[in-house]
A and B are shown apart, each in its own frame.
Chain A
Amino acid sequence: MLTSLISISLGAILINNFIFSQFLGCCPFLGCSNKMSTATGMSVAVIFVMTLASAMCWIVNQYLLVPLKLDFMQTVAYILVIAVLVQFVEMFLKKSIPSLYSAMGIYLPLITTNCAVLGVVLLNTEKSYNFLESTVYGCTGGIGFALAIILFASVRERLEFADYPKAFAGFSICLVSASLFALAFMGFSGLKIF
């Protein structure tokens, strides 16, 4: 049990990193990585929502969609659960932990359309993980996202002073740098502990 959880975590963080090998969540990855503070805010919010969404969607799928034979409606149900969840988390934080709420700011509502969140939920169903495995996969997937975006933000702050052809300005130089990260993360692909 523990071994499977550890291998799921390692897979989600390093081997099959959500951004560098599965391409899930690239829009916020490129959009929110221009400053370190934004990157940390976004990654905290993503870890939080991905963990909750994995747990909630597993329950919805197991106890609502499968017994009612509605599992072909998974996509619709999941996106609704995620949207409601994000709204709910936003209201809860606003009322009870206002400091965290102001730190996360506008990133919370944006997470609804983050494909890493819907992606992790769909992958959980596809791999037929149980409740604990789903939650761990969601949480560690979020940590993998955080690792990627924080590493990339620190590189991107230096990119501003780099000398590159004018045509590459903007997203394209970021994508080229991200490709080098992807190359580096490929080195983890043979990693096996057990």
Chain B
Amino acid sequence: MTPKQQIKEGLITNNPVLVQQIGLCATMAITTSLFNGLGMGLSVLIILTCCNIAVSAIRKIIPDQIRLAIFVVIIAGFVTIVDLLLKAFVPALSQALGVFIPLIVVNCIIIGRAEAFSAHQSVKLSLLDGVFQGLGYTCVLIVMCLVRELLGSGTIGGGLIDIANGFRFTLDGTGAGIRIFPSQYGASLLVLPFGGFLTLGTLLAVMNNALSKSAAKKAPQEQEEDDE
């Protein structure tokens, strides 16, 4: 497998959320502002890459029967490291994401990649897989955040971007974001749990549609046979 294929798989054809449909809990729960979404996405990216490297490095000495237990301990270790780092250096993010940072331990994306990919592949490929799958996850989170935040409260980049005194990034989550329209016109339901389910459902449908269209283009004959 070449790195190019891995990029395509991670971002589109085998995207963890939109195609494999795993790790949905956090995707719906924390995508209320770009600050949360980007923070969560990058945390998962770092943990996924580290776990993939560690699992791949010791894949030959792990006994098959207890491999899942070993994966979970490795993942829990890295999650604790990231959790403590966030608490120390970006406390606002740690506060905003709450239990969803420690819950990365049971996020199916990480254990799924360990089981399906890095337990059989070289360290280099596993590293790339971690980065690209993590990027795929981050992209979905960003799209969800942009949609929910823009339609829900009328801003872009809430918590992360501040334009009051010139354009700058705020790491303490206080930036008000770029206001597109006044907040009273926003559909504030979209920022509530209802919006999480609805946005992800619609996004999955859009992805389904796009994938089936591109598949139909690639193999028109097969499609016809299917229709009959």
Please report which residues of chain B, range 38-80, place their CB below 8 angstroms from some CB of chain A when the two chains form the complex: 69, 72-73, 76-77, 79-80
Is B176 close to A, CB under 8 A?
no
Is B96 close to A, CB under 8 A?
no
CB distance B206 to A79 under 8 Å?
Answer: no
Is B97 close to A, CB under 8 A?
no
Which residues of B are found within 8 Å of A182, using beta-carbon distances?
192-194, 196-197
9 contacting pairs across A/B (C-beta < 8 A): A23-B26, A25-B25, A26-B28, A83-B72, A113-B108, A115-B25, A167-B206, A167-B208, A168-B201
CB distance A123 to B208 under 8 Å?
Answer: no
What secondary structure prevails in chain B residues at the interface with A? helix
Is B105 close to A, CB under 8 A?
yes
How far apart are the CA atoms of A166 and B210 in the complex, in Å? 12
Which residues of B are found within 8 Å of A23, using beta-carbon distances?
25-26, 28-29, 193, 196
Q: Return B169 CB to nearest CB of chain A, in Å.
A: 27
> Which bracket fits the contact residues of A?
35 or more
Is B106 close to A, CB under 8 A?
yes
Q: Count of A-B contacts with CB under 8 A?
A: 124
Which residues of B are found within 8 Å of A114, using beta-carbon distances?
106
Which residues of B are found within 8 Å of A171, using beta-carbon distances?
21, 201, 204
Is B215 close to A, CB under 8 A?
no
CB distance B80 to A22 under 8 Å?
Answer: no
How far apart are the CA atoms of A167 and B25 in the complex, in Å? 22
Given A23-B28, A75-B80, 12 more A-B residue pairs with CB atoms under 8 Å apart are A23-B193, A26-B28, A83-B72, A113-B108, A118-B102, A126-B99, A167-B208, A170-B21, A171-B201, A179-B195, A182-B194, A183-B189
> Which bracket fits the contact residues of B?
35 or more
> Which residues in B have some Cβ–Cβ distance to A below 8 Å?
21-26, 28-29, 69, 72-73, 76-77, 79-80, 83-84, 98-99, 102-103, 105-108, 111, 189, 192-198, 200-206, 208-209, 212
Specify which of A20, A122, A168 is in contact with B193 (CB 8 Å cutoff): A20
Given contacts A172-B202, A172-B208, contact A75 B194 (CB under 8 A): no
Residue of A whose beta carbon sits closest to that of B203:
A172
Is A72 close to B, CB under 8 A?
yes
Which residues of A are found within 8 Å of B76, using beta-carbon distances?
75-76, 79-80
Specify which of B84, B105, B189, B201 is in contact with A175 (CB 8 Å cutoff): B201
